[in-house]
Amino acid sequence: MTSLDLRRMRLRSGEQRRERHEVALGSLTFGGQRYLPVPETPEAEVTITRAATGTVFDLRFTARLHGPCQRCLEDALIERSIVGKEYQATNPDADELRTPYVVDDRLDLSAWARDALVLELPVQILCRADCAGLCPVCGANLNVQPHVHEEQTTDPRWAALAELKNRL
């Protein structure tokens, strides 16, 4: 876990500090599949700005995830540029004025980076945009071996309904 001690910043109202930190992300489970960040600790730029009413935190980094394609199960690699912004009021009266990533004057960069990354993920992680997936009949990878199966004959128990359909 990567965290940042905010006490050592000693920023006054109107001051800003920008630092670079390696942020430990760890593996991620998405859609029932495990994805690994490459590298495990990407370098992030953290900007802390002290305002009269609180502190504004900015996070920027590029993340790459490696794991299985959710259609064909081959290797997939996606890359996203992540931008996150959080605010912590000096005297927060409501939860909206408090960031969950600041606890006891420590900013949890790892949790914040993971959450920001998850919010930027696509609905499905694919090896390529036009991935054909697996054949629902035989399970073959349709990207490697595109094919179609002959139409199956209908179950004889449905013959009466098929005959009724033909009459209508």
How confident is residue 166, by pLDDT bands cut at 50, 70 and 90?
confident
Residue 41 confidence (pLDDT) above 90: yes
Whether residue 49 is predicted with pLDDT greater than 90 in this model: the reply is yes
| 56 vs 152, more confident | 56
Task: Using pLDDT thresholds of 50, 70 and 90, give the confidence band for residue 1.
Answer: confident
Q: What percent of the chain has pLDDT over 70?
A: 99
The closest of 82, 87, 43 to 60, measured between CA atoms, is: 82
Q: What is the pLDDT of residue 124?
A: 93
Specify the pLDDT at position 150. 82
Confirm if 61 and 23 have CB atoms less than 8 A apart. Answer: yes
19: confidence class by pLDDT, cuts 50, 70, 90: very high
Strands (E), the chain: 3-5, 16-22, 28-30, 33-37, 43-50, 54-68, 75-89, 102-103, 106-108
What are φ and ψ of residue 14, in 5° steps?
95, -10
In this prediction, residues 18-45 reach a mean pLDDT of 94
pLDDT computed for residue 91 by the predictor? 82
How far is C-alpha 81 from the geometric centre of its chain's CA atoms? Answer: 11
**Stretch 146-163: mean pLDDT, rounded?**
81
For the cut 90, the answer to whether the pLDDT of residue 114 exceeds it is: yes
**SS3 of 93, please?**
coil
What pLDDT shows up at residue 59? 97
> Would the pLDDT of 93 be above 80?
no
In this prediction the pTM is 0.80
Q: Across residues 46-74, what is the average pLDDT?
A: 95
Average model confidence (pLDDT) across the chain: 91
Give me the amino acid identity at 2. Answer: T
